[in-house]
Amino acid sequence: MASNQEQIINSIREWAVRNKDIDFILITGSNGNDGRLPDAYSDIDVIVFCKRSPYYRTNSEWLSEIAEPVSYFHWPATRNLSKIYFANGVCLDIGFISTHHLAWGKRYAFIRKYKPLYRLIPRIVRGKVEALFNEFSYQIHRGYYPLIDKGDHESKMKYAREVFAYKKAKSFEIERLHQSVNQFWQYALQMAVKLQRKEFFTAKFECDHIMKKELLYIIEMYTKSIQGEAFETWHKGRYIEQWAAPFITAQLPGVYGRYEEEDAWKSLMAMIELFSELSHSLITQYPEAGCQNPERYFREWIADVRKNAV
pLDDT in tens, the chain (310 residues): 458 999 999 999 999 999 999 999 999 887 877 656 678 888 999 999 999 988 998 888 999 999 999 999 887 655 578 999 999 999 999 999 888 887 777 777 778 777 787 787 888 877 777 777 777 777 777 788 899 999 888 887 777 667 666 666 555 677 889 899 999 999 999 999 999 999 999 999 999 999 999 999 999 999 999 999 889 898 899 999 999 999 999 999 999 999 999 999 999 999 999 999 999 999 888 887 677 889 999 999 999 999 986 5
Asked if residue 66 belongs to a domain, the reply is yes
Query: Which one of 163, 194, 211 terminates a domain?
Result: 163
Asked if residue 8 belongs to a domain, the reply is yes
Q: Nearest CA to 139 among 26, 243, 236?
A: 26
CATH number at residue 200: 1.20.120
Predicted TM-score of the model (pTM): 0.79
Given this model, what pLDDT does residue 163 score? 66
Given this model, what pLDDT does residue 310 score? 59
Q: DSSP assignment, residue 228?
A: -
Give 44's strand partners: 92
Asked if residue 146 belongs to a domain, the reply is yes
Other CB atoms within a 10 A radius of the CB of residue 199 amount to 15
Given this model, what pLDDT does residue 175 score? 84
The H-or-E segment that residue 46 falls in is: strand 44-50
Give alpha helix (H) positions in the chain. 2-18, 53-58, 100-112, 115-118, 123-140, 153-163, 174-196, 200-202, 209-227, 240-243, 246-249, 261-285, 295-309
Domain of 247 in residue numbering reads as: 174-309
49: phi > 0 → left, psi -120 to 50 → alpha, else beta; which?
beta
78 and 181 both lie in a single domain: no
Q: How many angstroms separate the CA atoms of 186 and 193, rounded?
A: 11
- Residue 221: is it exposed, middle or buried by C-beta count within 10 angstroms (0-12/13-18/19+)? buried
84 and 198 both lie in a single domain: no
Query: Which one of 107, 142, 163 terminates a domain?
Result: 163
Give 48's strand partners: 25, 96
Q: Nearest CA to 151 among 15, 20, 6, 28?
A: 20
201 and 127 both lie in a single domain: no
Asked if residue 168 belongs to a domain, the reply is no
Residue type, 261: E
- Residue 290: is it exposed, middle or buried by C-beta count within 10 angstroms (0-12/13-18/19+)? exposed
51 and 149 both lie in a single domain: yes
Contact 54, 38 (CB under 8 A): no
Given this model, what pLDDT does residue 11 score? 97
Q: How many angstroms separate the CA atoms of 7 and 264, rounded?
A: 45
How many structural domains are present in the chain? 2
The length of the chain in residues reads 310
